[in-house]
Amino acid sequence: MAQYLIFGNGWIGNKFTASLPDAALSRADITNKQAVHEAIEEHNPNIVINCAGKTGRPNVDWCEDHQRETYLANVVGPMTLRDACLEQKVHFVHVGSGCVYEGDNNGHGFAEDDLPNYFGSYYSKTKIWAEEALAQYPVLQLRLRMPVDKGPHDRNLITKLVKYQRVINVQNSLSIIDDFLYAGKCLMEKGCTGIYNITNPGAMGHARLLTIYQEIVDPTFTFTVMPLTELMTKVKTGRSNCVLSTKKLAHHVTLDPIETAMRKCLEHYKQVIDARK
Ligand SMILES: NC(=O)c1ccc[n+]([C@@H]2O[C@H](COP(=O)([O-])OP(=O)(O)OC[C@H]3O[C@@H](n4cnc5c(N)ncnc54)[C@H](OP(=O)(O)O)[C@@H]3O)[C@@H](O)[C@H]2O)c1
């Protein structure tokens, strides 16, 4: 028996499993009804967290060419888990995405009940479809956005930007992973349902992130800023750039503003890099 059962043997799934007491990770195919039921019966959890899905390798462009696989994993899978959890009376938590908006909503940031307005990539469409369908049920949905972590990883925004060297500079909401995991745990412990934007308060452009990187991690690092129009000539599909409101989350959890959280994260990132030298 485990308190939490996590589906999705990927980056976030493993982070959640490591961060929660009494958690088990399932590698079951979430589109396979029988496999999902068997996993839930075996572990008998109070809470199931879905971290499985197709995010695309090396990036989200993959989803444009693999729409069937993306739809199955990102839409059919979450519905299969939802049905199994309802049937077995287990609280269902789904890791969604904040990449369902474009812009900053006239400076207010997008709240959870604002309708998605970004349909520029197949990946984002599947996240919107799943979110809408799950919103009709007592499910907790955690919107993650441009995750940033304290150690190098090919999915970590810091690691990605440092490799690109030439970056766009649009204000975005970001999720420091440790804060995302902490906020998710708080909401789960309170038995919350509904959609929550789990990002650090405020917003940051990539240039600001890399300037702090120069200051804290590597003073010799250089980068240049490119216009959004140039990015569109390099990628197959669009990318969401958006700012989310964190007012709803603030009723339950206080997270550091992004500037403070990013500095702490980069200080840790430097320690990890130095320890590997
Ligand atoms: N990383 C981000 O930037 C980001 C941002 C916002 C939201 N999210 C969401 O967070 C969730 C986790 O993302 P992540 O970064 O951890 O991605 P990840 O590292 O790619 O992990 C996803 C895992 O799900 C697995 N998977 C795919 N289809 C599956 C299926 N039918 N049954 C069981 N497992 C399946 C993948 O296996 P394969 O590798 O074999 O496909 C992979 O191990 C996703 O829903 C993603 O949309 C991620």
Question: What confidence score (pLDDT) does residue 219 get?
Answer: 97
Quote the pLDDT of residue 10: 97
Parts of the chain with a pLDDT under 50: none
Amino acid at 189: E
- Whole-number Å distance, alpha carbon 53 to ligand 1 midpoint, is 4
Q: What pLDDT, on a 0 to 100 scale, did the predictor assign at position 105? A: 97
| Alpha carbon of residue 47 to chain centroid | 19
Domain ranges (residues) in the chain: 4-276
130/60 Cα distance (integer angstroms): 17
Mutation test residue for ligand 1: of 14, 54, 141, 175, the one with most atoms within 8 Å of CB? 54
What CATH code is assigned to 4-276? 3.40.50.720
CA 32 distance to own-chain centroid: 23
Q: Which ligand 1 atom lies nearest to the CA of residue 99?
A: 6
Residue 61 CA to ligand 1 center (angstroms) comes to 15
Quick one: which atom of ligand 1 is closest to the CA of 52?
24
pLDDT of residue 165: 77
CA distance 61 to 44: 37
> In the prediction, which pLDDT does 231 show?
77
pTM of the model as a whole = 0.96
Q: What confidence tens digit (pLDDT) does each residue in 214-241 have?
A: 999 999 999 999 888 877 777 777 788 9
The answer to whether 47 and 188 are in contact (CB under 8 A) is yes
Distance 50 CA to ligand 1 centre (A): 9
Distance CA 195, CA 145 (A): 13
Q: Position of tokens 């197949």?
A: 122
Confidence (pLDDT) at 154: 95
8 lines ligand 1 (CB under 6 A): yes
At CA 40, angle to CA 37 and CA 45, rounded to 5? 155
